Structure 1
Amino acid sequence: METKTTTLESLFENVEQYSKTSFELYKHKAIYEIATLSSSLAVRFILSIVVALVSLFFSIGFALWFGDMMNNTYYGYFIVGLFYVILGITIFLFRKAWIKTNMNNMVIKSMLKQNH
């Protein structure tokens, strides 16, 4: 009877140790995933700001250049504004094919890569 109790106690201790170790492993894995995600988001945020600023300055430059060619500055701004309206409508019309599908595929590939 004594050996059965000792064996059961040993088994429970091993299960307890296994569950604690598994919990710690999942906790560290979650911390790693959060760190990876946050650093990726930070890089994308910074790159988005840089692209936005570059686009702003190029837009102003093109607007002034077009306006200078047409002898009225505001014509240049109308042309650049019209370009952005057309670009916005195009992106809106093709948002599912260009953005949503690609984002879904990227997330799925990322999740599958992490599991293997």
Structure 2
Amino acid sequence: DENPLIDSTFLLRMLGPFKYIHTILGFLITGLSGYLWLKIVKQSLNPTSMMVQISTIILVLIFTQIILGEILVFLDVIPLIQLFHMWIASWILGLCMVQYSAWNQSQVSHE
């Protein structure tokens, strides 16, 4: 399952500071998403159900990403988990674009 020509510890060392940047960025995104969820769901006067649902789904997917990332780091799992980790990231990005478009449309309709 591993590359027989290259040791996995060598590959991990090659990542260098990127592995730390990835973790820090993940926690920053989680914090920002939690803050936006709080602003949209709890502090907005009249949020649409779509905005509430998308915000909640994004937050759940980000927590799922963290769990999958930790599984990838600490457990010897099949490469399919890595595929799901990347796939969910694209879902999050897509949902962020949908949410931004809905917010932008609501700003235009209120002008």
TM range (shorter): 0.3 to 0.5
| Normalised TM-score (structure 2) | 0.35
- Higher helix fraction (1 or 2): 1
Structure having the higher Rg: 1
Q: Which has the higher contact order (CA 8 A, sep 6+)?
A: 2
TM-score, with structure 1 as normaliser: 0.34
